[in-house]
Structure 1
Amino acid sequence: MPRRVKLPGTDALIRRTDAADADGAAGSGRVRHEEKITVYVTSDELIALEQARLLLRAEHGVAVDRGRIVRTAIGLAVADLAARGSESELVRRLEAS
């Protein structure tokens, strides 16, 4: 029985070499992630996310996966919260729900 050699994935081989934004708003980009969360969304939210991914690719030439879009959105929300506090979009939307 042959042994399978575990090779690093693409994310481990391709990393950003320029400095990331100081505030972290851009998300972590293409790096190996050590932490994982599970997020449950509605069918409509998943379709909207997939449509956004396809729009980024078709109209802007940005080919990214859904996880990268979500990480970037989290970075933007956290940066807005840090900068604007109670006036942030995150606070406004969470208070309204």
Structure 2
Amino acid sequence: MTRSGAEDTLVRPAASRSETPTTPAEAAAPGTPQRGRARHTRPRIAIPPSGRQRHEEKITVYVSEDELLALEQTRLVLRADYGLTVDRGRIVREAIAVLLADFEEYGESSMLVQRLSDP
């Protein structure tokens, strides 16, 4: 398979702006309970998780042995119980997208602010 052929099988086109929810509230399932209002009221475009595609940017994150084991166990459960074959990077990208959407929607009362505020 040529490089461009391989990219065609691994890269899916990004959704257009009209198809992408502009706020986390639009991305949430109907009937999802809403928490307190966000501190920031200016509208922002929610960035959907990138899914299975080639990524050009990289960060290094150090995790504990227990965190890595939990991540790997989650990956295996996703495969065994749900038929989802995903790598750890995809799980991390999905988790980041969910956490950032929650932050955009709920601001000060978001899960991120609450967890970072805990001693």
TM-score band w.r.t. shorter chain = 0.7 to 0.9
**TM-score, normalized by length of structure 1?**
0.80
Runs of 4+ in 1 over 4 A off after TM superposition: none
Percent pairwise identity: 52
Q: Do the aligned partners of residues 8 and 96 (structure 1) sit closer, same or farther apart at CA in structure 2, a change above 3 Å counting? A: farther
SS across alignment from 1:81? helix
**TM-score, normalized by length of structure 2?**
0.67
Deviation readout 1:1-36 (Å, 9 max, x if unpaired):
xxxxx94695x33223473743334x1101111110
Counterpart for residue 98 of structure 2: 76
Mark the runs of 5 or more structure 2 residues left unpaired by the alignment: 22-45
- Say what the alpha-carbon RMSD is for the aligned residues: 2.2
For this pair of structures, how many residues does the alignment match?
90
Equivalent in 47, 54, 65 of residue 24 of structure 1: 47
Q: Higher helix proportion, which one?
A: 1
Equivalent in 102, 109, 113 of residue 91 of structure 1: 113
